[in-house]
């Protein structure tokens, strides 16, 4: 089991209406009875007056209950998130996500050599009836769509087993926002994400953990319309240091 050291989010941008953060790996976004330790919600509530008396109206209940959090990232996933600092900004951003006008891009390192090198994955996702902690591609599930393009192929030159020798670094753009969407879609195609403790299998996870400290998935790009100025904003961060060190243990395969 991978254990995480708690770290505060890094603030990338802040104004009177929104805050854009780089969420660290290991930080749970939403408060819940099953969650032990500090969450992003508690960090926000300590920093901002989410329950300001000006906002305490019935129509603002969702904004207060969510502490301004418009979307989420898994505990094991790091990267960019936008949070609203008032109800008007919250509902504006929420509508942007619902209408799919927000652009999100992730770095994902997966097992195997992805083919084709660019594609669109459309497969319905539903909670796995055999394991409530996992999701799966199931007929009748919620519509889910993911675009991807290959960045580079990699090889672990120290590995003898061909099943653990090759990897693909991809830029992934989810068009919908289902729980575990990227992880489920690539696992379904037999390209599970590196160090995925839910979807890559125990043997594979044990192998991955020898050189990669955590799930190789990072939200590195976020683009949306500012709820007040209406200007189109975009934010981009570099590959996280721990993931950069991990991929540095592999060798890039020159394209033929």
Residues marked active site are found at 74
Q: Please give the backbone phi and psi of residue 27, each rounded to the nearest 5 degrees, phi first.
A: -90, 120
Residue 218 CA to residue 66 CA, distance in Å, equals: 23
- CA distances in angstroms from 134 to 158, 181, 191, 216, 236, listed in the order given: 32, 11, 17, 18, 29
How are beta strands 145-155 and 18-23 bridged, if at all? unpaired
Closest CA to 62 of 36, 35, 37, 95: 95
User: Taking Cα atoms as reference points, which of 240, 233, 238 lies closest to residue 13?
Assistant: 233
- Residues sharing a CB contact under 8 Å with residue 92, sequence separation 6 or more, in sequence order: 84, 227
């Amino acid at each position: 089991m991978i254990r995480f050291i708690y770290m505060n989010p890094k603030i990338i941008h802040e104004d009177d209406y929104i805050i854009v953060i780089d969420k660290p790996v290991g930080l749970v976004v939403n408060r819940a009875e099953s969650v032990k330790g500090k969450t992003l919600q508690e960090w926000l509530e300590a920093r901002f007056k989410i329950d300001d008396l000006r906002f305490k109206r019935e129509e603002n209940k969702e904004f207060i209950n969510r502490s301004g959090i418009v979307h989420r990232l898994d505990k094991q996933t790091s990267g960019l998130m936008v949070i609203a600092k008032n109800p008007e900004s919250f509902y504006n951003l929420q509508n942007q996500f619902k209408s799919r006008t927000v652009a999100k891009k992730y770095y994902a390192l997966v097992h195997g050599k992805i083919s084709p090198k660019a594609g669109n994955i459309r497969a319905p996702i539903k909670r796995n009836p055999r394991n409530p902690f996992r999701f799966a591609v199931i007929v009748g599930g919620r519509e889910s769509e993911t675009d991807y393009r290959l960045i580079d192929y990699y090889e672990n030159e120290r590995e003898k087993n061909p099943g653990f020798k090759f990897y693909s670094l991809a830029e992934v753009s989810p068009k919908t926002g289902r729980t575990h969407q990227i992880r489920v879609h690539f696992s379904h195609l037999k390209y599970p994400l590196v160090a995925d403790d839910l979807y890559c299998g125990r043997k594979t996870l044990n192998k991955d953990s020898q050189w990669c400290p955590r799930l190789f998935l990072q939200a590195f790009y976020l683009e949306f319309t500012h709820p007040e100025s209406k200007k189109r904003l975009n934010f981009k961060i570099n590959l996280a240091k721990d993931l950069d060190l991990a991929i540095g243990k592999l060798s890039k395969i020159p394209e033929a």
